[in-house]
Chains A and B, each alone.
Chain A
Amino acid sequence: MSDPQKNIDPAAVRSALWARLEGARGRDYWRSLDELAATPEFQDLLEREFPRQAVGWSEDEDPVAGRRNFLKLMGASLALAGMTACTRQPDEHIMPYVRQPENLVPGRPLFFATATTLNGFANGVLVESHEGRPTKIEGNPGHPASLGAADAMSQAAVLQLYDPDRSQALAFNGEIRSWGVFTGALRDTLAQQKAKNGAGIRILTETVTSPTIASQLRTIQQSFPASKWHQWEPAGPHSARAAAQQSFGQPLNTYYDFTEANVVVSLDSDFLNSGHASLRYARQFARRRRMAEHHDTMNRLYVVEPMPTPTGTKADHRLPLRASDVEEFAWALAISLGLAEGPKTGENNDIYKWLGPIARDLQNNKGAGVVVAGEHQPPIVHSIAALMNEKLGNVGKTVFYTDPVEANPVDQLASLQDLVKDLDAGAVELLIILGGNPVFNAPVELGLGSRLKKAKLRVRLGLYDDETSAACQWQVPETHFLETWGDARAFDGTVTIQQPLIQPLYGGRSALQVLQSFTEQPEKSPYDIVKGYWSSQHTGSDFEAWWRKAVHDGLVAGSALPAKTAAVRGEALSARAGGKKLGGKLEVVFRPDPTIYDGRFANNGWLQEVPKPVTKLTWDNAVMLSPATAHRLGVQKGDMLKLTYEGRTLQAPVFIQPGHVNGSATLHLGYGRTHGGRAANGMGFNPFGLRTAKALWQDTGMDAEKVSGNHEFADTQNFHNLETPDRRHIIHKADLADFHKNAEAPHEGAETPPKGLTMYPEWKYEGHAWGMTIDLNSCTGCGACVVACQAENNIAVVGKDQVRRGRHMNWLRVDSYYQGDANDPAIYNQPVPCMQCENAPCELVCPVQATTHSSEGLNDMVYNRCVGTRYCSNNCPYKVRRFNFFLFSDFDTPSLKLARNPDVSVRSRGVMEKCTYCVQRINGAKIDAEKQDRPLHDGEIQTACQATCPSEAIVFGDINDKNSRVSKLKANERNYSLLADLNTRPRTTYLATLRNPNPEIEA
């Protein structure tokens, strides 16, 4: 009775949704279960532009009272409008430089190379600076981890820098102290420790890859030989680290190259969207799906995973498997490849059904395949994957090993447990916590919040005054990486130099400075520390030139670690555990959140509000369940579940995710913060409360019980629906083999009316004519473009309640479409910016001509002319216009003003806004070209979404130039217009997605 997949008998039980789902076969493509089941709620949403609750003014307001309030407010605002018109604009002032810096031209941005880090690993970025204010982060094309792309988290770092909730003052037990008092206290304790060789000193850091910090820690170790350095990173690559030790007998770093990979098997790895080199991987992977010519070929991707990820949406064959069944799958695949002994069938037939074809595919592509083990899978899965890659001849071609990138690749769990033991023994007299947030994110049974207090003196360096700070006496505000010098290594070991863009806003200090206090030169600046370290490393007399180049480029050329050869040891695969039975319970799966990660970005409005890939959830996490499992538990979306695991309980709301594996519940970490800041606190629930050292990522044996209560989610999946009789023409898709036979295959059934069949005015475009293509075959749905758009265009954050009412402001959205069975659908991503229609329905209905047709074909939006009738939005078939229902832009918080792009208006309330292909970039480039009296080069203008796209799915350019990339792509057979039957003639067009299924499996 263990397997719920077999347990479900839809005929026996009937819930409203389930009954409808059963018979639902009407639509090819659907956006949500509500739509598939054609519930009345969905129909209502489809017919209205905004959900019903959008009429209210505040959260619990009924429509009648709402109308009265509306009249009251309108009366007041009319009166105020009358008054304010009589005032004059206040005088503005200009404060020029006293001594203008060299190379700075006011009004022109400068770009500087630096790097973001996640789990210690560097990702090179270029930061745009306007007169000393960093405003926008782009990828660094020269950096191997970025290749010019930037992910959502890196880009949102700008908002984190200006976050008004950052820790702003050095404090001892909440009382403000000076840096001098702090260092004095620290040095007193150190002097006492000197006699004991530092036996009471403990330093707890996140994963350290920085060569400079590592060298400082080594120096401290020398002067205080009995001190200890611990590391803890809640979502770090713990398994990969342990697996390297197990498989190769030495710590090794693994990375992949997808350029030559024809067959990719992902064992629960979201390599296209998370991990230390996902931007690079996404680019390499997408290039193998470009299909520029009709007879080009594509790679093939198999994915096994519990919860649909962006990688899963790109799979040619996606197999939903419980996280703890992936190990059995890996074993069975190894057996099918003849690399291990064992049975070729098992209880769960899903695991075994495709093994033969996958194994043959891998064998036919020896040296051109790759098996990727998921970061969160146990070490044994990594060992099996390593063995398969080795025996298939992939090592050295698609898989590479190097020495570890981390400065000290210890078992971090053991390291933390060791610290706890010392705390219990009362051996810790000085505990320094650099970054991280261990009180919030350490395994729950360690009870770090109370245990920390056993250390006599606790010092915390942190960006926020958070949960960990609350357990420490000293809180030292940390500098943001955009405020200080530093260094780190990238996925392949490339040394990456971080340089500051701005003086520390709140007088923060960096980890380098705190560690420097241990030495005889405590006041050395971060610049001198980093530069000093590298001058001691650099051989040769050209250090200054070398250093300047490294800072300019953001990396040290040629510093990648050399590839190593390593063979998997026989004993690595000796221990084979039996499959884990569910026993009527649920499997619990912990995963870092796709946007706020382990909680470190929880106070970042951009990351909270960007709809999470696939689920389209904002501001929340949930118990992710499959439709069948939800049905078995008798719960619907928003119902509360009481989860019990290892004697600990947690109440959390249910979110039903099509494509999630049955019998498993995925919990995304990072929510449920209590000391995170105004955006973080009180959002979601905290799965760290269930997470123990025994099961950092997944385990069976969780009970779930429905309890009373209901939770309102703010997911955007049902908003902005495109109203068509059926969904066939929204996603154009074909199988590769069919496409090779018939180029029209993806467009079957779609109709394009003749050009002349319209009553709209005919436009002539004599100069440029801007257009865009979005390759659905490349797009992974990661959402980096959405954040790029938000940063570039000063788009406001509106908060959960407003999102729930369908008022989120993102100009660019990424829609998810499902196809097929609700429990195992194919998933497609479709980014939807403004289509810039040539026959634009929005333009004709504006009573004040606030939206007009530009000579180059853009549907311009003139904010200062808009009176907010919202007719344009009503008439937009693509639902890409956004309205400022309230004053969403923050005009008051001083630090947030610094984050704005000076080239784009900040919109006030009552104004419609929309994508204009980053017209500020277009005009900027046009002006530069005209000044130099030359034509614009193709590719010179990159929209923000295009520039950041890891998979290069978005291409923008002049369609009047027949040789431009965008013109060529629009001539591609896969090109199609969204809702072409409306004859709006959109300038944004899509390239149909193709799937490359294994013919053996399809048959």
Chain B
Amino acid sequence: MSQIFRHSTNTFTRVLLFGAVFILGFAFWAVDRLSRSDYNTRATQSREQPVPFSHAHHVGGLGVDCRYCHTTVETSSFANIPPTKTCMNCHSQIWATSPTLEPVRESFRTNQSIRWTRVHDLPDFVYFNHSIHVNKGVGCEVCHGRVDRMPLMSQSASLQMEWCLNCHRNPEKYVRPREFVTTMGYEPAGDQEEIGRKLVAEYKIQDAHTLTSCNTCHR
């Protein structure tokens, strides 16, 4: 009866046994990099939208305040995607015949919503509330990045839980005075941590234990 395994199997097994540590290590490293990669988190990738709305033009160029469109950002969990009416406030006068804006006019005519693709999409088990962050001095820019330089909207941060926790553990590193919440390119007037600690006390931001309790975000 011939042997089942060839001689080379011995070498193969040896390599496999001694290499197992490295192979596994590499596999873990690869999965770790991949899961944090922009490919996986979809950060920095812009999505196709029915109308190529440019924040760079409206915010950076024209200086429209975030809250002109995102009206409920200070009062509700949802920052609000503006109704077609908000677009038409201006675009019934300016670029009123632009073919790019036809979907907007069509929506206004037919009373059908514009179907935007969601860019910042948290998992359904996360309950993020815009209003409390804005009221506690977390600037739009902190999470959304330099929106004023984005011709097409894309996510700037990973939106992964570890990223959320960075701030929930150390809010003093990120908060800014409320009057600068919508400012793009904000520079702290001094040491951020020092100013941050003052603001954390002034705005009565909860302690890290409470901010990292599971029910703060999950329910």
Chain A residues with a Cβ under 8 A of chain B:
89, 91-100, 105-108, 766-767, 852, 854-856, 858, 860, 862-864, 903-906, 916, 919-920, 922-923, 927, 930-931, 933
Residue of A nearest to B130 (CB): A107
Contact call B81/A94, Cβ cutoff below 8 A: yes
Contacts of B93 in A (CB 8 A): none
Stretch at the interface among B57-65, B70-78, B140-148: B70-78
Contact call A96/B81, Cβ cutoff below 8 A: yes
| B7 on the A face (CB < 8 A) | no
Known: A97-B113, A100-B83, A863-B218. A855 touches B213 (CB 8 A): yes
Contact call B121/A89, Cβ cutoff below 8 A: yes
| B53 on the A face (CB < 8 A) | no
Known: A95-B115, A99-B85, A927-B129. A107 touches B215 (CB 8 A): no
Name 7 interchain pairs, CB-CB below 8 A, sorted by A: A91-B117, A94-B117, A100-B83, A105-B75, A864-B123, A906-B124, A927-B131
Contact call A108/B75, Cβ cutoff below 8 A: yes
Contact check: which of A856, A904, A919, A931 meets B131 at CB < 8 Å?
A931
| B52 on the A face (CB < 8 A) | no
| B207 on the A face (CB < 8 A) | yes
Contact call A931/B132, Cβ cutoff below 8 A: yes
Contact call B215/A860, Cβ cutoff below 8 A: yes
Extra A-B contacts (19), CB below 8 Å, given A91-B118, A855-B213, A862-B214: A93-B117, A94-B115, A95-B113, A97-B83, A98-B84, A99-B85, A99-B111, A100-B83, A105-B72, A105-B76, A107-B80, A108-B72, A108-B75, A903-B127, A904-B219, A930-B136, A931-B131, A931-B132, A931-B135
* Shortest Cβ gap from B180 to chain A (Å): 18
- For the complex, what is the distance from the CA of A863 to the CA of B218, rounded to whole Å? 8
Contact call A106/B215, Cβ cutoff below 8 A: no
Known: A863-B125, A905-B124. A927 touches B83 (CB 8 A): no
* Shortest Cβ gap from B155 to chain A (Å): 13
Contacts of B25 in A (CB 8 A): none
Known: A95-B115, A96-B80, A105-B76. A860 touches B125 (CB 8 A): no
* Shortest Cβ gap from B112 to chain A (Å): 7
Residue of A nearest to B115 (CB): A93
Contacts of B213 in A (CB 8 A): 852, 854-856, 858, 860
Contacts of A930 in B (CB 8 A): 132, 135-136, 204
Pick from A858, A862, A903 the residue with the most CB of B within 10 Å.
A862
- For the complex, what is the distance from the CA of A612 to the CA of B118, rounded to whole Å? 45
Contact call A108/B76, Cβ cutoff below 8 A: yes
Contact check: which of B72, B85, B207 meets A107 at CB < 8 Å?
B72
Contact call A96/B116, Cβ cutoff below 8 A: yes
Contacts of A856 in B (CB 8 A): 210, 213
Contacts of B135 in A (CB 8 A): 930-931
* Shortest Cβ gap from A521 to chain B (Å): 28
Pick from B75, B117, B118, B127 the residue with the most CB of A within 10 Å.
B127
- For the complex, what is the distance from the CA of A852 to the CA of B219, rounded to whole Å? 12
Chain B 71-114 residues near chain A, CB threshold 8 A: 72, 74-78, 80-85, 107-108, 111-114
Question: Which 10 pairs between the two chains have the least Cβ-Cβ distance?
Answer: A107-B78, A95-B113, A107-B76, A854-B213, A97-B83, A860-B214, A96-B81, A855-B210, A100-B83, A92-B118
- For the complex, what is the distance from the CA of A905 to the CA of B123, rounded to whole Å? 10
Contacts of B84 in A (CB 8 A): 96-99
Contact call A854/B80, Cβ cutoff below 8 A: no
Contacts of A92 in B (CB 8 A): 117-118, 121
* Shortest Cβ gap from B208 to chain A (Å): 9
| B209 on the A face (CB < 8 A) | yes
Mostly, the B contact residues are loop
Contact call B83/A99, Cβ cutoff below 8 A: yes
Contact call A766/B204, Cβ cutoff below 8 A: no
| B173 on the A face (CB < 8 A) | no
Contact call B209/A855, Cβ cutoff below 8 A: yes
Residue of B nearest to A100 (CB): B83
| B46 on the A face (CB < 8 A) | no
Known: A100-B85, A107-B77. A919 touches B215 (CB 8 A): yes
Residue of A nearest to B127 (CB): A903
* Shortest Cβ gap from A894 to chain B (Å): 17
Contacts of B108 in A (CB 8 A): 98
Pick from A91, A852, A933 the residue with the most CB of B within 10 Å.
A91
- For the complex, what is the distance from the CA of A752 to the CA of B108, rounded to whole Å? 68
| B47 on the A face (CB < 8 A) | yes
| B166 on the A face (CB < 8 A) | no
Contact call B215/A905, Cβ cutoff below 8 A: no
Contacts of B214 in A (CB 8 A): 852, 854, 860, 862
| B216 on the A face (CB < 8 A) | yes
Contact check: which of B107, B125, B132 meets A927 at CB < 8 Å?
B132
Contacts of A933 in B (CB 8 A): 204
Contact check: which of A98, A863, A906 meets B111 at CB < 8 Å?
A98
* Shortest Cβ gap from A904 to chain B (Å): 6
Contacts of A905 in B (CB 8 A): 124-125, 218-219
Contact call B118/A93, Cβ cutoff below 8 A: yes
Contact call B129/A920, Cβ cutoff below 8 A: no
Contacts of A106 in B (CB 8 A): 72, 76, 78, 80
* Shortest Cβ gap from A705 to chain B (Å): 54
* Shortest Cβ gap from A548 to chain B (Å): 25
* Shortest Cβ gap from A976 to chain B (Å): 27
* Shortest Cβ gap from A408 to chain B (Å): 44
- For the complex, what is the distance from the CA of A100 to the CA of B111, rounded to whole Å? 11
Contacts of B81 in A (CB 8 A): 94, 96
* Shortest Cβ gap from B77 to chain A (Å): 4
- For the complex, what is the distance from the CA of A525 to the CA of B107, rounded to whole Å? 28
Contact check: which of B47, B111, B114, B207 meets A96 at CB < 8 Å?
B114
- For the complex, what is the distance from the CA of A106 to the CA of B113, rounded to whole Å? 15
- For the complex, what is the distance from the CA of A862 to the CA of B210, rounded to whole Å? 15
Pick from B77, B84, B121 the residue with the most CB of A within 10 Å.
B77
* Shortest Cβ gap from A842 to chain B (Å): 14
* Shortest Cβ gap from B88 to chain A (Å): 9
Contacts of A97 in B (CB 8 A): 83-85, 113
Contact call A920/B113, Cβ cutoff below 8 A: no
- For the complex, what is the distance from the CA of A767 to the CA of B213, rounded to whole Å? 13
Contact call B125/A96, Cβ cutoff below 8 A: no
Contacts of B72 in A (CB 8 A): 105-108
Contact call B129/A919, Cβ cutoff below 8 A: no
Residue of B nearest to A854 (CB): B213
Residue of A nearest to B135 (CB): A931
| B37 on the A face (CB < 8 A) | no
Contacts of A95 in B (CB 8 A): 113-116
| B160 on the A face (CB < 8 A) | no
Contact call A767/B112, Cβ cutoff below 8 A: no
Chain B 186-219 residues near chain A, CB threshold 8 A: 204, 206-207, 209-210, 213-216, 218-219
